[in-house]
Amino acid sequence: MELRLDGKVALVTGGSRGIGRAIAAAMAAAGAKVMISSRKEDALKEAAAGMEGEVDWFAANAGDAEAAAACVDATVKRLGGLDILVNNAATNPYMGPIMGIDESRAAKTVQVNQWGVLLWTQLAWRAAMEQHGGAVINVASIGGMSVEPSIGYYNVTKSAVIHLTKQLANELAPKVRVNAVAPGLVKTDMARALWEPAEEAVSAKLPLHRLGEPEDIAGAALFLASDAASWMTGHTMVIDGGAMIRTGF
């Protein structure tokens, strides 16, 4: 099956590296005009230059309402609309037992990972999707469906994203489809502390015997954005190499 997005405009937050970058590249290669956003201009320029197709960039902190609004506005003005929103940007400023997190880092995690998803979706809805329809893809995590010791509060926000996906799907139907992807452990810079020290040992525990690559998640996001998923909304696709089979969750 060839998945195409010709004539569509996509906005990907956290699009300069990792999963977001892979999703943006896949959508651009499938014919979409793509806007990528993250905090750092240099990283955005480098990422955009390495993608085929029409790719623009706009620097914005995902948890900053003013910057998010400016990015959505720029997407509509520069690229001619907004049909696909990928809420990928995330942060994890704290690792350790949840009883040890302080208010500041907890608030930052919620601001980007949870509130940011709703904020950008509201903006995309008002700017284009309320009138023209579209698709929203939220990047959650299998952590939002399970329990682990080191990134517990991050996982709390990802659990919220999974529920928010259902709520938004209900409220924005029938014009806008809202789905999520829940990656397992993917080899990104953000997750480096979880996989780099013992990649072989971690991989051996997975049924598919390898960690995820950003492109594994990009394929699922491309499917959800395409007409092939036109009768699908409110769901979370798990892409984890079979990890949850063995954890029991």
Q: What are the residue numbers of the active site?
A: 154
Q: Reduced to 3 states, what is the DSSP secondary structure of residue 195?
A: helix
Question: 26 with 84: CB under 8 angstroms?
Answer: no
Output the CA torsion sign for 37, 153, 106, 157.
positive
What CA–CA distance (Å, rounded) separates 90 from 92? 7
Question: 13 with 38: CB under 8 angstroms?
Answer: yes
* Cα–Cα separations (whole angstroms), residue 123 to 69, 114, 130, 175: 6, 15, 10, 15
Cβ-based neighbour number of residue 238 at 10 Å: 18
Q: Reduced to 3 states, what is the DSSP secondary structure of residue 212?
A: strand
What CA–CA distance (Å, rounded) separates 68 from 39? 11
